[in-house]
């Protein structure tokens, strides 16, 4: 598959320049996080009925090969002093697929999509009742609140397990946070007063409250403001990220609750595309032709979530405008940035 056509320097593209082995704290943190991954999902797989035939044998074989591969990764780090998060996530995805556990979060995503869909009418009603000057800031905060549903970061995994990821409670907490980077005023000006974008390619992140209560209300408003908005989702599963097929299924259900959403979809002012990716990061070297066709006609690209906006592509310049928005939920990420946990990031880079 081709590279993303909007890269300023395609030959020099690197998914990330963060060497997580450079700081011993980061190295130990990330390796420990991936070392313990099988322990976190085994019970979940069985509970959700995703174990399938011959589960004990497959799981034992998966664990043995996973542990062996992690030892090789640690040895490589000792030899070279280099490691990236994309190496770790690709290794994890490869082993899950090999032993027929391609989507261990499938049932969780389905439950969270259903729960968020019940709140969707209430959220868009609140948004639609706001005057325009308050609507955009509320949508940005809603996007950040929804992004709390993240099963890749230990802090948010713990909150999810304790039932502390309520969307409206999170919205209130985020409203009081100081922002690490806040270019929201520039974005709001472009969306309301000056030169709006013709087409927006929006790389989405998680299922559940993230896509339903965060992304969709914002994308809906962007489309109502005159832009064509294309939501770009992973081709294949990765953690609790929503996939392209799941996104289309979800939109088919939500359009029945929201006539304006239904109209935007029917008139192609809101659409979807498959990115070709299968990790929680965004690798711009494996973009589908369909996604590249959309990218070529877009004058704004949105990178949502830590994985796509910060852990990958943080220093990657684009030929079009780019908006990176995420909630900082991981202690290693905030240490690398020099930020604090739970700070929002809203960074706008013009073409």
pLDDT tens per residue, range 110-155: 999 999 999 999 999 999 999 988 999 999 999 999 999 999 999 9
Q: What percent of the chain has pLDDT over 90?
A: 94
The answer on pLDDT for 195 being more than 80 is no
Structure tokens at 103: 């989507």
Structure tokens at 272: 């979807």
Question: Is the distance from CB of 147 to CB of 280 less than 8 angstroms?
Answer: no
Per-residue confidence (pLDDT) for residue 133, from 0 to 100: 87
Confidence of residue 32 (pLDDT cuts 50, 70, 90): very high
Per-residue confidence (pLDDT) for residue 2, from 0 to 100: 87
The answer on pLDDT for 180 being more than 90 is yes
Per-residue confidence (pLDDT) for residue 194, from 0 to 100: 66
The answer on pLDDT for 176 being more than 90 is no
Helix (H, G, I), strand (E, B) or coil at 272: strand
Per-residue confidence (pLDDT) for residue 196, from 0 to 100: 84
Per-residue confidence (pLDDT) for residue 248, from 0 to 100: 98
**pLDDT digit string, tens, across residues 202-229:** 999 999 999 999 999 999 999 999 999 9
Instruction: Please report which helix (H) or strand (E) contains residue 174, including its range.
Output: helix 167-175
Q: What percent of the chain has pLDDT over 70?
A: 100
Confidence of residue 105 (pLDDT cuts 50, 70, 90): very high
Q: What is the dihedral of CA 20, 22, 26, 30, to 10 degrees?
A: 40
Confidence of residue 165 (pLDDT cuts 50, 70, 90): confident
What the chain holds in terms of domains, given with CATH numbers, is: 18-98 (no CATH), 115-349 (3.40.50.10880)
For the whole prediction, is pTM greater than 0.85?
yes
Confidence of residue 175 (pLDDT cuts 50, 70, 90): confident
Per-residue confidence (pLDDT) for residue 19, from 0 to 100: 97
The answer on pLDDT for 312 being more than 80 is yes
Confidence of residue 188 (pLDDT cuts 50, 70, 90): very high
How far is Cα 70 from Cα 213, in angstroms, rounded to an integer? 37
Question: Is the distance from CB of 100 to CB of 94 less than 8 angstroms?
Answer: no
Mean pLDDT estimate for the chain: 96
- Reduce the secondary structure of 29-63 to three states and give it as a string: HHHHHHHCHHHHHHHHHHHCCCCCCCHHHHHHHHH
**pLDDT digit string, tens, across residues 330-346:** 999 999 999 999 999 99
Q: How many CA atoms lie within 13 A of 169 on its CB side?
A: 6
The answer on pLDDT for 288 being more than 80 is yes
> Which regions of 205-297 does DSSP assign to beta strands (E)?
228-233, 270-274
Beta bridge partners of 203: 232, 303
């Amino acid at each position: 598959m081709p590279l993303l056509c909007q890269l300023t320097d395609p030959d020099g593209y690197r998914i990330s320049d963060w060497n997580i082995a450079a700081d011993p704290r980061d190295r130990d943190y990330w390796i420990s996080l991936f070392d313990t991954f099988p322990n976190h999902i085994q019970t979940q797989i069985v509970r959700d009925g995703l174990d399938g035939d011959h589960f004990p044998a497959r799981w034992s074989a998966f664990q043995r090969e996973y542990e062996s591969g992690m030892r090789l990764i640690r040895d490589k780090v000792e030899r070279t002093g280099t490691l990236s998060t994309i190496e770790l996530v690709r290794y994890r995805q490869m082993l899950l697929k090999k032993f027929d556990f391609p989507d261990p979060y499938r049932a969780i995503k389905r439950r969270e999509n259903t729960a968020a869909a019940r709140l969707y009418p209430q959220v868009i009603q609140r948004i639609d009742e706001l005057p325009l000057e308050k609507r955009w800031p509320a949508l940005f905060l809603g996007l950040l609140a929804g992004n709390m549903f993240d099963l890749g970061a230990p802090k948010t995994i713990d909150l999810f397990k304790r039932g502390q990821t309520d969307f409206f409670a999170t919205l209130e907490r985020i409203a009081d946070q100081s922002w690490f980077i806040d270019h929201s005023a520039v974005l709001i000006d472009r969306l309301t007063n000056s030169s709006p974008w013709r087409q927006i390619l929006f790389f989405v992140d998680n299922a559940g409250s993230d896509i339903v209560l965060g992304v969709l209300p914002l994308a809906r408003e962007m489309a109502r403001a005159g832009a064509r908005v294309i939501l770009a989702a992973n081709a294949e599963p990765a953690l609790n990220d929503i996939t392209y097929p799941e996104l289309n299924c979800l939109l088919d259900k939500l359009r029945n609750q929201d006539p304006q959403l239904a109209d935007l979809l029917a008139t192609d002012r809101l659409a979807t595309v498959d990115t070709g990716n299968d990790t929680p990061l965004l690798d711009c070297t494996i973009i589908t032709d369909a996604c590249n066709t959309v990218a070529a006609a877009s004058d704004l690209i949105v990178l949502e979530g830590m994985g796509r906006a910060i852990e990958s592509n943080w220093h990657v310049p684009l030929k079009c405008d780019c908006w990176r928005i995420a909630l900082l939920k991981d202690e290693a990420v905030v240490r690398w940035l020099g930020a604090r946990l739970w700070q929002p990031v809203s960074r706008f880079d013009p073409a």
